[in-house]
Amino acid sequence: MSGTSAAEPLVRVEAIHKWFGSLHVLKGIDLSVQPRDVVCVVGPSGSGKSTLLRCINLLEEPSEGHVWFEGRDITDVRTNLNEVRTHIGIVFQQFNLFPHETAIQNVMLALQKVLGYGKDEARGIAERELAHVGLRLKGDSYPGQLSGGQQQRVAIARALAMAPKLMLFDEVTSALDPELVKEVLDVMKRLASEGMTMIVVTHEMGFAREVGDRMIFMDEGVIVEEGRPADLLSNPTQQRTRSFMSKIL
Amino acid sequence: MAAPGSAAGVGRLSRWRAEGTRLSLLAGLAGVGGLGATLVGPIVLVIVRGPTPVDRLVNTLHSGQLHALFVAGIVSGAVAAIVGWGSYRFVPTKVAREQAIGGAVLGLQAVIISALLLKFTSGNIDKFATNFLDFRVLRPHLGEFGRAAKNTLILALAGEGIGVVLGLALAVLASSKRSVVRAPARAYINFFRGTPLIWQLSFIYFGLIVGFKINISVYESAIIAFGLNTGAYAAEVFRAGIQSIERGQLEAARGLGMSYLKAMRYAVIPQAVRRVIPPLMNEFVILIKDTSLIIVLGLGVKEYELYAVGRNLFSDTFNATFFVATAIGYLVVCLPLIRLVTALERRLRSGLVGVVGHSMAEA
């Protein structure tokens, strides 16, 4: 498993299954993520990577199995998921910014309505987070007035403003024009270097190799292989991993 | 192409002349002239000769000048239609083709309308004019019509106000994933959409007075009925709006730790409301006219709205001009709203969804 010690993992996923109707999308996934780990999840489309990610903050409810966050079973029905989700930031492929709010209002909204910050305090945090992603001057722009890369950075700032302990990234550069990918990846690299725990579903193998502590290759709802990104990329042990890597590299 | 603005307008006019051919210009001008003679001519004639008293109006309607206008409309329109139709495929420029087609279509309209009006004014127009167009009888009652228009608007605005609030609440319930929450909302919506408003008005009025022993006025009861009825329709409009918001919006809000209701309130509903403003205003226009059904409850003189005042004056005088005035009253109230709906729809379609009515999201 992971290279770090046997300390309490931040996230532990145990034997989760997910069915959509008769479609068996996740077929018994186990995964632990230690604090400060950057775990990259790769695999062909339809392999269940995004579903796995969304099971970790329970945007999708696993059909079977458990998810522990900070030692707490958050698949227990008695868990207050709204509270748990304030500690887990998620960024989506399609940004999902609120189009009727400006960039800074997007960042402030949950600070005020979920964490209960006053307007001035929320604005202060939001300004800091926007500056953090290099968008100090774009606070009053509406999402429709920003480029895809800028929108995605606002979405990252929105998640970071909640001071999460874990960040989930769901193919966050896949909807971007090629020239806008780097600005988003740069923000994520810096975040990793600052010690954020991250689970990153991605097709950016360069990013995974450079930033990832661990890489997981999924196919058809199972984890086929996991290890150091460099190992998985250059000499995978499984045939399926090898054939996937040879197609995309 | 030319940008909008008056300078560009002049440019378009000169291009219009330069790029037209002789035939296409003939078709275009004949079409415009024919329809003008049909629609504008008679109005000008009636105004110049004076619309009252009714004898003078009848004289005008019988006059050779009016009939000459209609004949001119028919002839000019026919020329436009024939020349335009015959030439539009052979003219060399796009401008000329639009002139030819436009002229042919306008000409056809002129021919049809002129022929109908000619036939109509050749009949027993005295009787019609005395009964429907005796505008002199309106003068002493203009104040009543003004009050009636105000009453119509009060009924419609109050009903719509209740309906929008109720509709939004019902829409949230009807969008729930739990069938026990959806079912009562659906039952309510289907009941009020499935029974006639006229029945709801009577049933609620007598039901409240008899069943609940509530001493309620006709207006209060009717406003409740209009509100309950509009609520059902508004609920369907809002529900469609809520369902049109991409699922990712709800997920993003939930992902930030918002409860379902907070996510709806702050992320989904502000967007949904903006999208459904045009259809909601359509419902409002429908309600304005449906307030006329209040007449089944029986009204005091000061409670007359536009339809009741027209009907009452008609039954006093047997002069249907009052009904014409009622129709004009409804048009005066509704047409600006209809134009506003069209303008809003255009604005929403042009992609300004994020900016339109932003202040409404604050609350």
pLDDT in tens, A62-119: 999 999 999 999 999 999 999 999 999 999 999 999 999 999 999 999 999 999 999 9
With respect to residue B6, please indicate whether it lies within any of the assigned structural domains: no
Radius of gyration of chain A (CA): 18
Cα–Cα dist B114/B70, whole Å: 5
Last residue of a domain, one of B96, B111, B133: B133
Residues B161 and B100 in one domain: no
Percent of chain A with pLDDT over 70: 98
With respect to residue B177, please indicate whether it lies within any of the assigned structural domains: yes
Q: What is the reported pLDDT for B355?
A: 44
Q: State the average pLDDT over residues B142-152.
A: 95
pLDDT over 90 at A14, yes or no: yes
> In chain A, which residues have their Cβ closer than 8 Å to the Cβ of B247?
none
Closest chain B residue by Cα to residue A112: B258
A141 vs A101, A126, A133, A180, B176, CA distance in Å?
9, 14, 15, 18, 33
Residues B98 and B180 in one domain: no
B168 Cα to chain A: minimum distance (Å): 19
A161 Cα to chain B: minimum distance (Å): 10
Helix (H/G/I), strand (E/B), else coil: B199? helix
Residues B25 and B147 in one domain: no
Lowest-confidence range among A180-194, B19-33, B238-252? B19-33
Beta strands in chain A (DSSP E): 11-20, 23-33, 38-42, 64-69, 72-73, 88-91, 166-170, 197-201, 214-219, 222-227
Residues B320 and B179 in one domain: yes
Smallest Cβ–Cβ distance between B252 and the set A84, A92, A142 belongs to: A92
Contact A221, A65 (CB under 8 A): no
With respect to residue B325, please indicate whether it lies within any of the assigned structural domains: yes
Contact B257 A162 (CB under 8 A): yes
Closest chain B residue by Cα to residue A56: B255
Q: State the average pLDDT over residues B83-112.
A: 94
With respect to residue B80, please indicate whether it lies within any of the assigned structural domains: yes
With respect to residue B9, please indicate whether it lies within any of the assigned structural domains: no
Strand partners, B277: none
Q: What is the reported pLDDT for B6?
A: 55
| Cα angle: A54, vertex A58, A64; to 5 degrees | 95
pLDDT over 90 at B3, yes or no: no
Interface test with B, best of A57, A60, A96 (most B CBs within 10 A): A96
Cα–Cα dist B188/B170, whole Å: 9
ipTM: 0.93
Interface test with B, best of A59, A91, A100 (most B CBs within 10 A): A100
Helix (H/G/I), strand (E/B), else coil: B333? helix
Helix residue ranges, H only, chain B: 6-19, 22-49, 54-62, 64-87, 94-122, 125-132, 142-174, 179-194, 197-206, 218-244, 247-255, 260-263, 269-275, 277-290, 306-317, 321-349
Residues B291 and B161 in one domain: yes
CATH (domain of B253): 1.10.3720.10
Q: Which of B68, B66, B46, B48 is nearest to B57 (CA)?
A: B46
Q: How many domains does chain B have?
A: 2
Contact B302, A154 (CB under 8 A): no
Q: State the average pLDDT over residues B131-154.
A: 92
pLDDT over 90 at B51, yes or no: no
Q: What are phi and psi of A93, to 5 degrees?
A: -55, -45
Lowest-confidence range among A26-35, B15-24, B118-127, B133-142? B15-24
The pLDDT confidence band at residue B162, using thresholds 50, 70 and 90, is: very high
Last residue of a domain, one of B116, B133, B150: B133
Interface test with A, best of B246, B256, B271, B275 (most A CBs within 10 A): B256
Q: State the average pLDDT over residues B184-196.
A: 97
- How does the average pLDDT of chain A come out, rounded? 94
Percent of chain B with pLDDT over 70: 93
A227 Cα to chain B: minimum distance (Å): 29
Q: State the average pLDDT over residues B328-345.
A: 90
pLDDT over 70 at A239, yes or no: yes
Name the residue range of residue B59's domain: 14-133
Residues B216 and B323 in one domain: yes
> In chain A, which residues have their Cβ closer than 8 Å to the Cβ of B257?
82-86, 110, 114-115, 162
Closest chain B residue by Cα to residue A145: B354
Query: What one-character-per-residue DSSP string does A181-220 give?
Result: HHHHHHHHHHHHHTT-EEEEE-S-HHHHHHH-SEEEEEET
A236 Cα to chain B: minimum distance (Å): 34
pLDDT over 70 at B357, yes or no: no
- How does the average pLDDT of chain B come out, rounded? 90
The pLDDT confidence band at residue B14, using thresholds 50, 70 and 90, is: confident
Smallest Cβ–Cβ distance between A142 and the set B259, B270, B354 belongs to: B354
B249 Cα to chain A: minimum distance (Å): 6
With respect to residue B206, please indicate whether it lies within any of the assigned structural domains: yes
Contact B266 A159 (CB under 8 A): no
Last residue of a domain, one of B114, B133, B152: B133
Task: Indicate the burial class of B83 (C-beta count within 10 angstroms; 0-12, 13-18, 19 or more).
Answer: buried
Residues B163 and B125 in one domain: no
Contact A31, A225 (CB under 8 A): no
pLDDT over 70 at B344, yes or no: yes
Percent of chain A with pLDDT over 90: 94
Residues B169 and B253 in one domain: yes
With respect to residue B261, please indicate whether it lies within any of the assigned structural domains: yes
Contact A144 B351 (CB under 8 A): yes
The pLDDT confidence band at residue B184, using thresholds 50, 70 and 90, is: very high
Torsion sign across C-alpha atoms B151, B152, B156, B159: positive
Contact A97 B361 (CB under 8 A): no
Smallest Cβ–Cβ distance between B257 and the set A101, A114, A144 belongs to: A114
Smallest Cβ–Cβ distance between B257 and the set A83, A100, A142 belongs to: A83
Q: What is the reported pLDDT for B20?
A: 81
Q: What is the reported pLDDT for B234?
A: 97
Helix (H/G/I), strand (E/B), else coil: B144? helix
Residues B67 and B161 in one domain: no
Strand partners, A216: A41, A226
Q: Supply the pTM of this predicted model.
A: 0.84
With respect to residue B262, please indicate whether it lies within any of the assigned structural domains: yes
Contact B252 A98 (CB under 8 A): yes
A53 Cα to chain B: minimum distance (Å): 12
Contact B271 A142 (CB under 8 A): no
Q: What is the reported pLDDT for B9?
A: 63
Smallest Cβ–Cβ distance between A96 and the set B248, B258, B353 belongs to: B248
pLDDT over 80 at B299, yes or no: yes
Residues B242 and B123 in one domain: no
Residues B211 and B334 in one domain: yes
pLDDT over 70 at A6, yes or no: no
Residues B151 and B113 in one domain: no
Closest chain B residue by Cα to residue A58: B255
Q: What is the reported pLDDT for B358?
A: 41
pLDDT over 70 at B354, yes or no: no
Contact A99 B353 (CB under 8 A): yes
Task: Indicate the burial class of B127 (C-beta count within 10 angstroms; 0-12, 13-18, 19 or more).
Answer: exposed
